[in-house]
Amino acid sequence: MENDEYLGPTQVRLDRGEVVREPGDRGGVQFRTYGEPLSFYEKKGIITDKQKRAGEDFYKTWYYGCLRSPYVLMRWTELKAAKSDVNAVGFLWSEYRIAMLSIRTRERQRVIYRVCCESRYAGRGRILTLRDGLDDLMAHFKKAKNQSSDVENSPHEY
């Protein structure tokens, strides 16, 4: 049997949408199961859709505003001088810090950061910690949405 004829389990899983084809670290192609851990956990029924959305919102605040975060060493940003808002980064950083502090324990904070921001899996025995941390984030974003008059800022219902 030649390699061209052999489809194997990877091709079957690609057809079903269970894996994603990506460029490899050292050239070539590699296959990953799902694009990110939050999608994997939601698809397997480990977390709810609302918990996934809270994790995605936390990722957005981290990605766009973690200029002075203790977890980030460097940030590269391109801004157009005429259209840049110097206060936006500081505002988003404070939003990230407030969201991080809304997670009740240090272990929950570490697991949430690992899963939402680094796109790594929670690890063995940390699924309940992940769920509890995502529940804390849901409560935070729900409270922030209720206090905010700008409803377009977060379109998700918590």
Angle between helices 127-147 and 49-65 (to 10 degrees): 70
Q: Do 44 and 24 belong together in one domain?
A: no
Q: Do 42 and 108 belong together in one domain?
A: yes
Quote the pLDDT of residue 108.
96
Q: Do 103 and 145 belong together in one domain?
A: yes
Residue ranges making up the domain that contains 105: 35-153
Looking at residue 121, its amino acid is: Y
Q: Do 24 and 85 belong together in one domain?
A: no
pLDDT tens, residue by residue, 138-156: 999 999 888 765 545 555 5
The answer to whether 137 touches 108, Cβ cutoff 8 Å, is no
Distance CA 62, CA 56 (A): 10
pLDDT tens, residue by residue, 77-132: 555 555 555 566 566 778 888 999 999 999 999 999 999 988 888 988 999 999 99
Q: Do 57 and 121 belong together in one domain?
A: yes
Distance CA 56, CA 93 (A): 16
Report pTM.
0.66
Share of the chain above pLDDT 90, in %: 34
CA atoms lying within 13 Å on the CB side of residue 70: 6
Q: Do 142 and 108 belong together in one domain?
A: yes
